[in-house]
Amino acid sequence: MLKTGIAAPDFTLPDQDGQPRRLRDLLADGPLILYFYPADFTPGCTREACDLRDLHARILAAGLRVVGVSPQSPDSHERFRKEHALPFTLLSDEDKVAIKAYDVDGPLGIGVRRATYLIDARGRIADAVLADLMIGKHQAFVERAVAAREGRGA
């Protein structure tokens, strides 16, 4: 995991529509919850994505946005978004460029570790959580980030 306070590594990856998205551009509207997950349509990843979907209105109201990253193709992400009515962007990292830059590649390069980063508007890592199988920790992390911003008037 990357340490808090350091610059978040920039990247450009295709979204679910195949459009290139750069981290710097994603931060133009403010802080970002960047979450890494192993795979579309798996039970744990579906639960995590749906938790974020269910919190999405509060996330936006707090001035935050969500972007997910995994190694599946844009087509897989598009189907995953549609099937679960996910209102946020999913980025395809088939070559694991961002996954490696954020130090969430799986053991021996197999898979992806479940991690969530809060990146501030200046592009710095403000906070992070790594909890591979404990999906509830990611939801609690996001809820704390939202509550902190709500408490200060976003």
The residues carrying an active-site annotation are 45
Strand (E) positions, the chain? 12-14, 20-22, 32-36, 65-70, 89-92, 115-119, 125-130
Name the CA dihedral angle for 129, 132, 133, 138, rounded to a multiple of 10 degrees.
20
**Computed from CA positions of residues 22, 26, 32, 34, in that sequence, does the dihedral angle turn out positive or negative?**
negative
Place of tokens 């290139």: 20
